[in-house]
Every structure is written in structure tokens, then in C-alpha cells.
Amino acid sequence: MSLIISQPSGPIRPVIEALYDIEILGGFVRSLEASAANQLRDLGRASLEVSPDGHDVFRVFHGLDGSTWHLETLFADYFPNLQRTAAFLVVWSCFEHHLDDLCFEVASAEKLSLLVKDLKGTGVIRACTYLQDVARLPLDLSDSQWRDELVPLQKLRGFLAHTDAHLQDHHKAERAYAEASDFIEVSDGTLKLSVDFIGHVLKNQAGWLRILQVVVTDSYSNGA
């Protein structure tokens, strides 16, 4: 089922659909952040319970009790970071899907026998390498947005998908990117994503998609 009323066809279709998705995902992320803020506010009104011995009074919120857990840390820090990490993986997966779809459409338009799945690697790096090196689209992979943001974000996505966000000695590239970022905090060797991190990711994705939109439109004038 499509959420888009009218759809373009040809190679431009995945680019336009990806830009539409960024609008949807932006709303999704804003709702997550609003939910996290509401949870933290509601924590202050959590019900009070008395310990069995009658000496300790503690709060209970969503089945978690304050006699065991530091609820403020859970709902102000730990849970929001989990939400942002999960949202980042969803946002990045959608981006990868659209770029792979673009590679498929370009291969079909150019009648290429070598497909993006035939290349080594994964994700957006593989897709854009395919578009530049195989499809010969005039795509500049020395562009600062690509080199300084999207490539490191691809690596960060892999790191977060396969770890508990705790940096090891061999995560040198991920640490360097995080420490230089205004949207990530490194605390006790663990990455913490800020409230603006996903918006930053979506902004960079949108910027790259607009570059692709120009390249694809110029290369396939009948693709819109």
C-alpha cells in the first residue's frame, strides 16, 4: 500500500519516495521525543508504595520501582538513548532501501548486467559506489557531506546495530566521529545520542537526496 497520492516512475521514483519518507520519519521522531518528555514529566506523579517492612517509601512507574532502580536516570537518559538508537536504525534502513531501489531502477534503465548486490560491501556506501563506478552517474563522492557525515554515519549504524554502544579500542573511527559531533556525547566509553541527533541524520540524508535528485533528473530527463 502506498502512502503517496501520485508516484513518479523510473530512476527518479526512489529519490522522490525517499524525500517523502524523510518527512514521515521526521514526524515519527518528533513523536518519540515528545513521548520521552511526557514519560519523564509523568514520573514526578508516579504512585508511591511502602516497602514490606514499612520503613521505605518509593515510587513505582511502569512496573519499575524506585527501591531497585534509579528511575530518573532510566527515564531521562537510558530509555531515551535506547529510543534514539532504535529510531536511527529504522531511519538508516529506510535510506539504504531507497538507495538500493535507485540502483535497481538505474540498472534497469541502463540494461546493466552487474547489479548493486554483486558488489562487495553494504548499505549506502555500496549503493553510491555502484551509482558512480558502475552506472557512471556524475556523482561526487569527494563531497564533504558524503565524506564527513554520511560515510561515518553508515559506520556508526553498523556499530550501534551490533554493540551495546560501548566503544572498544578498535572503534577508532566511531569514537573520532562521536567526539567531533555536536549531537553525540561519549560518557564512560558509551555513546549517547542527543535529542537533535536523528534530526541531524535526516537533514544530511535529505541534502544528499537533493544532490541525487539533480543528478538523476539530468541523466534521465524522462524519468520523472
The DSSP code sequence of 115-174 is: -GGGSSS-HHHHHHHIIIIIS-----TT-HHIIIIIHHHHHHHHHHHHSSSB--TT-HHH
What pLDDT was estimated at residue 55?
A: 65
Asked if the structure places residue 149 within a domain, the reply is: yes
What pLDDT was estimated at residue 224?
A: 41
What pLDDT was estimated at residue 208?
A: 96
What pLDDT was estimated at residue 50?
A: 54
What pLDDT was estimated at residue 157?
A: 94
- Flag residues of the chain having pLDDT under 50: 1, 223-224
Asked if the structure places residue 1 within a domain, the reply is: no
What pLDDT was estimated at residue 73?
A: 73
Asked if the structure places residue 96 within a domain, the reply is: yes
Asked if the structure places residue 20 within a domain, the reply is: yes
172 is written with which cell numbers? Answer: 577508532
What pLDDT was estimated at residue 52?
A: 60
Domain count, the chain: 1
What pLDDT was estimated at residue 56?
A: 66
What pLDDT was estimated at residue 71?
A: 74
Which residue range is the domain that position 64 belongs to? 12-219
Rounded Cα–Cα distance for residues 119 and 92 (Å): 20
The owner of cell 521522531 is: 29
Asked if the structure places residue 2 within a domain, the reply is: no
The owner of cell 532510566 is: 74
Asked if the structure places residue 3 within a domain, the reply is: no
